[in-house]
Amino acid sequence: MPAMMPPSAAARVAAVGEEEYEPLLAENPDRFCMFPITYPSIWEFYKKAVASFWTAEEVDLSPDVPHWQHRLSHDERHFISHVLAFFAASDGIVLENLAARFMRDVQLPEARAFYGFQIAIENIHSEMYSLLLDTYIKDPDEKTRLFRAIDTVPSVARKADWALRWIESSGSFAERIVAFACVEGIFFSGSFCSIFWLKKRGLMPGLTFSNELISRDEGLHCDFACLLYSLLRNKLSEDRVRAIVADAVDIEREFVCDALPVALVGMNGDLMSQYIEFVADRLLESLGHGKMFGVVNPFDWMELISLQGKTNFFEKRVGDYQKASVMSSLNGNGDIHHVERRGDSESRSRRQRPSRAAFAAHSAALPPLPTVTQPKPLNIIVSSKSTQTR
């Protein structure tokens, strides 16, 4: 006998047919209460997002100003300013998609928890990019042009229009989640790479540190989109996924060529185009499909810099830092210690806690804490021009 479904789900199956029914998108009468968790893999992504929380006040931009004025060439400043102009607008577009579509499409509490936290961190990204432009660009007219890049910079406008069309699309959730995996995976990839290129050269430490944090967040968001896609019953055809990805690659190539009008040392349009194709292939594989371009990563230093931060935590908080206590509720397999899965009544009477011996062994393995001096008071100065931490 088939398992009983809630009346709303059964009605939906009857309405759309068994083949088209999508459990992940079904109406959920339990959506207002977080526990118990149905999909531990989705919950783990939410906990990873919480563990990686940061704020714009943690990034010191004061060392960047002399670098921007005296160590970057005119062409390099043009390149980076266009990258920041796209970023300043892009997070607002992602926010609109989450609020207007995805939060309504998916009624799983754990998925909504992730999307809710993504909305919060996208706001921090938007604040950070606005602070970067406000700090580096002193000409008022140029600053206004870059803040309004989706109207004033054609290559940025095309990227924004592509994403906005998908927000308003009547296409399936599967199509739209693949499209926004492209936004956060492909549209951001070239821009992240350009800022890591500055890090490789020892330039703009504030910008490059914020890039570590933001690229880590966006990587998590893209991976979450791939996870939800993998959980869909009704996936897209190979040809349809490739068409969406190829369209995004073409638009990103155009943006790179516009932002990079001349070849720079170690960075040019051809290399960036190849890198975008490499990232697109990696996204296709994450979505369960084969490669389209079959190219190698032209920037071997990207593998070292962007995938795993290696800075000592006590020297500087790194982009892969996590709040350890947040992840302590998950074990190594992604299962949940303090939350039972739906239907697992036996687990309701148990709570897994580490033994004293395990706790002692874990504590002994931790590195010694450094000597900490009394910190100076944090003075937040707010003016009409910018917000800085001193």
Catalytic residues: 129
**Short-list 338, 341, 185, CA closest to 275:** 185
Question: How many angstroms separate the CA atoms of 342 and 43, rounded?
Answer: 13
* Phi-psi map region of 214: left, alpha, beta (phi>0 left; psi -120 to 50 alpha): alpha
Question: How many angstroms separate the CA atoms of 58 and 323, rounded?
Answer: 15
Q: Which amino acid is at 318?
A: V
Question: How many angstroms separate the CA atoms of 322 and 303, rounded?
Answer: 20
Per-residue burial over 223-260, b if 16 or more Cβ lie within 10 Å, else e, is: bbbbbbbebbeebbeeeebbebbbebbebbbebbeebb
**Short-list 3, 44, 39, 93, CA closest to 232:** 39
Q: Judge whether 207 and 61 are in contact, CB under 8 Å.
A: yes
The tokens describing 294, both together, are 């079959």
Q: Judge whether 89 and 163 are in contact, CB under 8 Å.
A: no
Q: How many CB atoms lie within 10 A of CB 106?
A: 22
Q: How many CB atoms lie within 10 A of CB 156?
A: 25
Phi–psi pair at 377, nearest 5 degrees: -60, 145
3-state secondary structure of 96: helix
Q: Judge whether 233 and 16 are in contact, CB under 8 Å.
A: no
Phi–psi pair at 27, nearest 5 degrees: -60, 135
Give the position of tokens 């459990």.
23
